[in-house]
Structure 1
Amino acid sequence: MITIDGKQIKLQIWDTAGQESFRSITRSYYRGAAGALLVYDITRRDTFNHLTTWLEDARQHSSSNMVIMLIGNKSDLEARRDVKKEEGEAFAREHGLVFMETSAKTAANVEEAFINTAKEIYQKIQDGVFDINNEANGIKIGPQHSTSSQGLPSGGGGATPGGGCC
């Protein structure tokens, strides 16, 4: 659970570890996802080289509005870096992705990666890009706890008076 604009947002997260053996299962997760984190290891060029394939897979099996964040992981291993930060930034720019580097070991930017992805999804809800009536977008309106529906897209998307999101 995280809070964005004073609203409680529940994130449901699936990790396939990018393993080829999970590829067919991963495709079914894309269909019901509002966001994805595409992660590569900055110390292993081959993980960066496979990004195009994973990105094509994600885009082919997901909503065209899905938020995709590109993550360069293991930023704590600067001495072993094999992929420059600028390369990650350029790939993200070229493909319309949000980019950041993280370290799962030190927790640097890990929480921020999830929060920033959630904020991007929330903004798309606010902008009316995501139809919150369509659960195929990976968004469900939860129990209503607030007394104000400010900030929700017009029409309420099936939400009861009181707001709430995701």
Structure 2
Amino acid sequence: MLMGKAGQESFRSITRSYYRGAAGALLVYDITRRETFNHLTSWLEDARQHSSSNMVIMLIGNKSDLESRRDVKREEGEAFAREHGLIFMETSAKTACNVEEAFINTAKEIYRKIQQGLFDVHNEANGIKIGPQQSISTSLGPSASQQNCRDLGSDAGCC
């Protein structure tokens, strides 16, 4: 979601239209680049200003596979998320560690808010559209993302 300074402002004006009608958002920063973390407050203000107060926002620290190049401590991401009422995870898009879980956890939180009556599922302006009803199957094995986290070893910092 974050870009270099040259294209950042024009990108922001485009993204503002996507916030309207969104039930959830992933706010992503690069754990190896502090400047991306430093811009989170501005991006979060944008998201909250242009969206429903019930929108679920998950904070993602990406590139957890690059622990040796880490510039933002996990605890800093956790503290920012706690302070702003966000869900927090670290992921690695390269290895797929926790990527699937980030989307699943966001969807679970949206579903929880639907059950609480905070989203009207009959009003598509809330960013939710009910599709055809299907049975939900569960997998007994680990997801591909969980397996990739295990492949990295216990010091990968993402699981």
Which TM-score band applies after superposition, normalised by the shorter structure? 0.7 to 0.9
Mark the runs of 5 or more structure 1 residues left unpaired by the alignment: 1-16, 147-166
Of 40, 47, 50, the match for 1:58: 47
Residues 2 and 36, structure 2, Cα contact 8 Å, conserved in 1: no
Amino acid aligned to 1:90? A
Matching of residues 7-156 of structure 1 within 5 Å: 17-19=1-3, 20=8, 21-145=10-134
Larger RCO (CA under 8 A, 6+ residues apart): 2
Mark the runs of 5 or more structure 2 residues left unpaired by the alignment: 136-159
Alignment TM-score, normalising by the size of structure 2 = 0.79
C-alpha distance in structure 2 between counterparts of 1:122 and 1:79, whole Å: 37
Number of matched pairs:
130
Residues 28 and 60, structure 2, Cα contact 8 Å, conserved in 1: yes
Report the alpha carbon displacement of residue 133 of structure 1 after superposing the two structures with TM. 2.2
**Where does structure 1 differ by over 4 angstroms across 4 or more consecutive aligned residues?**
none
Alignment TM-score, normalising by the size of structure 1 = 0.75
The 3-state SS of whatever aligns with 2:46 is helix
The 3-state SS of whatever aligns with 1:37 is strand
Report the alpha carbon displacement of residue 145 of structure 1 after superposing the two structures with TM. 4.5
